[in-house]
A and B are shown apart, each in its own frame.
Chain A
Amino acid sequence: NAGVTQTPKFRVLKTGQSMTLLCAQDMNHEYMYWYRQDPGMGLRLIHYSVGEGTTAKGEVPDGYNVSRLKKQNFLLGLESAAPSQTSVYFCASSYFRDNSYEQYFGPGTRLTVT
């Protein structure tokens, strides 16, 4: 199993450009999440999905959109990138076991918006 993979690993965008980050998991997990990590702020949830075809807003959804057309993939889109979106983006997936959820994380995408 590859676990959770993210594409690309690094990206530099100019303000106003758009891009899509791809997350893929091969563990048949129902739940998937997108976080951003900024220094001193931990991880903040952007959007999440509890199953194929469903998405919901997290703590910091503005400026981002997501889609979950297939169970194994969760896409994060930036329609018009802003410097405030410079961050490291992590995808995670989880399943329910022993009354708990265990989240598995991808390696991250480092995005710089100039």
Chain B
Amino acid sequence: GEDVEQSLFLSVREGDSSVINCTYTDSSSTYLYWYKQEPGAGLQLLTYIFSNMDMKQDQRLTVLLNKKDKHLSLRIADTQTGDSAIYFCAETPAYGSSNTGKLIFGQGTTLQVKP
């Protein structure tokens, strides 16, 4: 079945880069997402990548996709204390007649940014 795995915790110092990793099993996945959850709040979409891409950059965020290894990473440059949150990786198959937009989430990685 489909499965998404993430490490549970990452601690970095303010100003350093953070790299959050994710692995997935569904080879038919064509969209992979990164969501951010701040304390006491819902999830907010940060970025997503289509599986025919290997990199996507959006300001301080860089997403790298290794489709052969089914490995996804999120790099946050110049990490700030405001980046402290839980980051979720998620996958969904490509759109099709039976697609429902369902997402399969990883367990979430708690990013702690020390001043």
Beyond A33-B102, A50-B100, A58-B102, is A107–B50 a contact (Cβ under 8 Å)? Answer: no
Check B100–A108 contact: CB distance below 8 A: no
Q: Which of A16-57 contact B (CB under 8 A)?
A: 31, 33, 35, 40-45, 48, 50, 56
Check A105–B102 contact: CB distance below 8 A: no
B-side contacts of A45, CB under 8 Å? 102-103
Check B50–A105 contact: CB distance below 8 A: no
Closest CB pairs A-B (n = 5): A105-B42, A101-B101, A42-B105, A42-B107, A43-B105
Cβ-Cβ contact count across A and B, 8 Å cutoff: 68
Chain B interface residue number, banded:
20 to 34
B-side contacts of A107, CB under 8 Å? 40-42
Check A103–B107 contact: CB distance below 8 A: no
Beyond A90-B43, A96-B95, A107-B41, is A31–B48 a contact (Cβ under 8 Å)? Answer: no
Closest to A95 in B: B101
Q: What is the interface of chain A, defined by CB distance below 8 A to chain B?
A: 4, 31, 33, 35, 40-45, 48, 50, 56, 58, 90, 92, 94, 96, 99-108
A82 to chain B, nearest CB (A): 23
B-side contacts of A40, CB under 8 Å? 8, 107
A-side contacts of B40, CB under 8 Å? 107-108
Bound CA span A31–B103, Å = 12
| Interface residue from B30, B45, B50 paired with A102 (Cβ < 8 Å) | B45
Q: Which of B1-19 contact A (CB under 8 A)?
A: 4, 8
A16 to chain B, nearest CB (A): 29
| Interface residue from A44, A50, A99, A102 paired with B95 (Cβ < 8 Å) | A99
Q: Is B84 an interface residue (CB 8 A)?
A: no
A-side contacts of B4, CB under 8 Å? 42
Q: Is B85 an interface residue (CB 8 A)?
A: no
Check B45–A42 contact: CB distance below 8 A: no
Q: List 22 A-B contacts (CB under 8 A).
A: A33-B102, A42-B105, A43-B105, A45-B103, A48-B100, A50-B100, A50-B101, A90-B43, A92-B42, A94-B101, A99-B30, A99-B50, A100-B48, A100-B92, A101-B31, A101-B99, A102-B45, A102-B48, A103-B45, A103-B101, A105-B42, A107-B42
